[in-house]
Amino acid sequence: MLLSCDEQLRADRFQFARDRNRYIAGRAMLRVVLARQLGESPEHISIESGPHGKPVLADRTAPVHFNLAHTGDLAILAISSTQVPGVDIESLERTVDHDALAQRFFSARENAEFERISPATRNQAFLARWTCKEAVAKAAGKGLRMPLNQIEVSVAPHGQPRLLSLPDGDARQWTLHSIDAGSNYVAALALLRSS
């Protein structure tokens, strides 16, 4: 089996077989792709958790940064040797109270922009901004521990998103990209120039 003992134990803790199988498939895919990048066998890749739970290579000198996200049966993986990636993907079928969540997790400027969006496209607009914020938080290694209302992004309807500001960082070090994951999904990639 490709998974480490720790990964197998974590997989065993999932209550539902569907979730367990998704976790196993995602981790196996991650190991295969990382192995190709590093020239090693998948079972010899050592992955550990960073200070806030972000998966990282145990060999911190390896020139590879990665991030994995999934929703339902769809997963997205980003790997880079020159930048630190963060990815997020959400299904447009996901029902959320986007107005309440925007009030809590968007900045005042983002909320003002969001309120001008027509109700028919609000769910997609909310998820486009949300995936950008979460991708940045994941690349930063803090995940949802990072205050999302302080990660400020601009999401143009037909252009690439842009990071405007974030806590404890320089937005100029970042690039954001919308990812076409199909008509039923919204996905984003955040890239932080590695030092």
Where does the pLDDT of residue 145 fall: very low under 50, low under 70, confident under 90, or very high at 90 and above? confident
Provide mean pLDDT across the span 62-91: 92
Q: Distance between terminal CA atoms of the chain?
A: 35
pLDDT band at 181 (very low <50, low <70, confident <90, very high): very high
Give the DSSP H or E segment for 80.
strand 74-80
> What average pLDDT does range 32-39 have in this prediction?
92
Q: Is the pLDDT of residue 122 over 70?
A: yes
If asked whether residues 73 and 98 sit together in one domain, one would say no
Mean pLDDT of the 65-81 span = 92
Most confident of the ranges 26-40, 57-71, 147-161: 26-40
**Among residues 81, 103, 136, which one ends one of the domains?**
81
Is residue 167 domain-shared with residue 92, that is, in the same domain?
Answer: yes
How many C-alpha atoms does 172 have within 13 Å on its Cβ side? 0
Which phi and psi angles does 74 have, rounded to 5°? -110, 135
- Name the residue range of residue 73's domain: 5-81
Q: Across all residues in the chain, what is the average pLDDT?
A: 90
What does the pLDDT average to over 135-143? 91
DSSP, res 148: G
Domain boundary among 64, 81, 98: 81
Q: Are residues 72 and 150 in the same domain?
A: no
Say yes or no to pLDDT of 128 above 90: yes
- Same domain, yes or no: 145 and 176: yes
Residue 195: the pLDDT is 62
Domain boundary among 58, 81, 104: 81
Asked whether the predicted pLDDT for residue 194 surpasses 80, the reply is no
Residues 173 and 159 in one domain: yes
Query: Does the pLDDT value for residue 142 go beyond 90?
Result: no
Does 76 share its domain with 100?
A: no
Domain CATH for 148: 3.90.470.20
Q: State the total domains in the chain.
A: 2
* CB contact at 8 A, 86 and 190: yes
* Mean pLDDT of all residues in 110-115: 91
Residue 20 shares a structural domain with residue 93: no
